[in-house]
Amino acid sequence: MKSHTPVMEIKTRRQFRSELGSLEVPLIRPKPSVVLVYSRGCPPCEQLRPQIAALAAGPYRDRVAFFQLSYPILKLLQPNIEIQFVPALFFLDGHGGQTRLYGTDREKIKQGFDSLLFVTDKVFSEVFDSQAS
């Protein structure tokens, strides 16, 4: 049986347009969103993906929309977006604001989530740290 994940994988232009619209143009969204850009075979990406999924299934469920897409798909769909390296996270606040960060630094990721909405540090820490290996 296929497991359900609260993080939607974007694979097509139609999905991208329907769910995200654009990462180049500030858009008002129905709720804040987090977009993970990863690369296959990237150890930090593989470390971060289950941590983001745990946050999506836990304290941020129903408050934040979670998406992920591979770097090649992002470059195909949004060629003008500059990505320094992966993993890259886009925090879209729902009002057109966007924060971008790179890597797996826990404190920076927490700041990105805090820019979307407030969830106590203890909740964030328990979920995020429980996924760390």
3-state per-residue secondary structure call for the chain: CCCCCCEEECCCHHHHHHHCCCCCCCCECCCCEEEEEECCCCHHHHHHHHHHHHHHHCCCCCCCEEEEEEHHHHHHHCCCCCCCCCCEEEEECCECCEEEEECCCHHHHHHHHHHHCCCCHHHHHHHHHHCCC
Output the average pLDDT for the chain: 85
Tell me the whole-structure pTM to 2 decimals: 0.84
- Is the pLDDT at 51 greater than 50? The verdict is yes
Q: Write down all domains in the chain, each with its CATH number in brackets.
A: 7-130 (3.40.30.10)
pLDDT digits (tens, 9 = 90+) for 52-79: 999 899 888 888 999 999 999 999 999 9
